Amino acid sequence: MANHNSKAHASADTSAAVTSIIQAIHSHDLARIKRCYGQAASAEQTAQLRHCFEAAGNHAANYEHYQNIVAHCVSQHGLPAGVVAGINTTERLDFFMPALQAANAFDTTNHQGNTFLHCLFVNPANLLPPFNYVRSLLLFERNESLAKALVVRNHQGLNALETYLSFNPHNSELPRHELAAWLALCEAQRKLSGVNSDNLSKVLAHLEDISAQAHRLTLVASYYQTPLSSLSQMN
């Protein structure tokens, strides 16, 4: 019963924070909006940002308005860890991109040590991993610090590309443009921090039914720059 009351209390607190920022937004007072966000706890900020994203999706005419509000709030008071796992589709990344740029928050991590790239690359809702999309973002000067997210290792010691290799559930062959983007991201990651070859066995250990994952093994070989034939011997 005590746990139930605690959860109900937390939910009520989050709802109150969302109500507060809705009222602040309706006031058209940016200082008040940022103050409301800045005074909120991390879980409350997560709920407030979620509301802004959903409101933007429901009211296309106000999309940029909500996007700018989020960018102002996050640039001044930071991105809460609870939002990171939610930035796991290109649609959500598009919305939060100005905020990530303004706050230089590309390498912000959640409680598992994952950046939004970790979450984006393993989300089963993405039938194709958005490698080409991320590679395109890296080409813009404003997103230079996005490369930092490529090299962040989570609590399992895996970066975003290794997490894709280990946990993405879709094993179909990548289209040519996504494969080219994958190779480009691998090269960018290697230039930034090199490759931790000790993780190769860790990645292979996560793959089930190796015989049915020929294409995934090809990607593993390309990332670790090791002969494909050696992988079957290791597993």
pLDDT, position 7: 40
177 falls within a domain: yes
For residue 212 the two structure tokens come to 């049915």
| Residue 8 clears pLDDT 60, i.e. is over it | no
Ramachandran area for residue 89 (φ above 0: left; ψ -120 to 50: alpha; else beta): beta
Q: What is the residue range of 168's domain?
A: 115-235
172 CB-near residues (< 8 Å, 6+ apart):
215
Mean pLDDT rounded to a whole number for the chain: 91
204 falls within a domain: yes
205 CB-near residues (< 8 Å, 6+ apart):
none
Rounded distance, CA 177 to CA 86, Å? 26
| Residue 79 clears pLDDT 70, i.e. is over it | yes
192 falls within a domain: yes
pLDDT, position 176: 96
Among 6, 35, 8, smallest CA distance to 23 is for 35
pLDDT, position 5: 41
221 falls within a domain: yes
Rounded distance, CA 118 to CA 3, Å? 32
pLDDT, position 201: 92
Sign, CA dihedral 111-100-219-169, equals: positive
Whole-structure pTM value: 0.90
Integer-rounded Cα Rg, in Å, for the chain is: 20
Sign, CA dihedral 97-100-104-105, equals: negative
Q: Which residue has the tokens 């940029």?
A: 64
Reported as a pLDDT band with limits 50, 70 and 90, residue 22 is very high
62 falls within a domain: no
52 falls within a domain: no
Q: Cite the DSSP H helix spans in the chain.
A: 2-26, 30-38, 42-58, 63-77, 81-84, 90-103, 116-122, 131-138, 147-151, 160-167, 176-193, 199-206, 214-224, 228-234
Average pLDDT over residues 161-187: 95
15 falls within a domain: no
68 falls within a domain: no
Neighbours of 232 (CB within 10 A): 12
pLDDT, position 124: 96
Among 95, 90, 65, smallest CA distance to 79 is for 95
Question: How many domains is the chain partitioned into structurally?
Answer: 1
pLDDT, position 76: 97
CA 25 to chain centre: 26
Average pLDDT over residues 156-160: 97
